[in-house]
Amino acid sequence: MSKRKPIDQAEILIAGPARNIAAHINQELDALYEAMRDFKCIHGLVVESDSDDGTIQQLATLKLRLPNFDYISFGRLIKQIPMRTARLAYARNRIVTEVQNNPRYASVDFIAMADLDGINRHISAQSIAQCWEVAEEWDVITANQLHTYYDVWTLRHPDWSPVDCMVQMHKLEPILGESAAQNLAVQAKQVHLNANQGMIEVDSAFGGLGIYRRGAFLAGRYSGVNAAEQEESDHIAFHADLRKQGYRIYINSALINSASHLDPPPPPLAKKHTFWTIGVMRWLGRLLFGHKRFNKYLDLLK
């Protein structure tokens, strides 16, 4: 018998960070609200910063249209926090603080942390309900993609992906060359998970959507920066905090949220760069990920 609070008796908060998502936010939140329709109550919270595309106006409209929806804007954070993953961590930590301290979220039982850039296009009420039917007593359950599982930058599994794939790739480049290093460290791990493969326990995963029990969600803090002061997936430190306290994290192969993903993870960049280093990183990024996709990542850093 599951110890999870039944969906029809539980409250859930749909939350996530936002920057320049005006083109996606309405469709994304509508899909997520629809997928969570069987919950007793749905709350929504978006934490925004550094947008210049109409995101704020869209969020203001959504506040009028969606029940129990709110947003927080930090304005311009990029000068104060130049590293993108650190800004994401800052926004997600504000969500943790809101759940912990804001009376309006005192009765929330589950938190659905979601990327809002278009990744949750295929989420459904049926796939959410299935998460409550599995035998495993999960504390965190994360999404899968229809074609290939993309988020190996956030993935930590002792056999599948034990280390930061981008750090590994850069270590392998002098030995194997750029293409072979990328294939071994990144692409070989981006495998197809059949929807019927069940639950895969991991030390960290995300894939654009993670559902957390309240106690687990309040047990960690996000970072986004590793010990070498390089960008790291902001979920890594958070999930490490949870695992230290015994909380269990799974990928649910049946929780399909998208056909594929929009962008690869960014390469790790040192805190300080010379013009030569930046030029080399741009050349490598375009070689590895393609000119259009890498330029989109550069735009996000501005």
Poorest-confidence range of 68-77, 201-210, 291-300? 291-300
Mean pLDDT for the stretch of residues 26-31: 95
Quote the pTM value: 0.86
Report the SS3 class of residue 51: coil
Burial of 184-209, coded b for 16+ CB within 10 Å and e otherwise, reads: ebbbebbeebeeeeebbebbbbbbbb
| Residue-level pLDDT at 17 | 98
- What pLDDT score was predicted for residue 281? 52
Cα gap 92→23, rounded to integer Å: 21
Structure tokens at 281: 């990183």
Backbone angles phi, psi at 206, to 5 degrees: -150, -70
Cα(19)–Cα(302) distance, integer angstroms: 11
Q: Which residue has the tokens 């990144």?
A: 186
Residue located via tokens 């295929």: 122
**195-202: average pLDDT:** 97
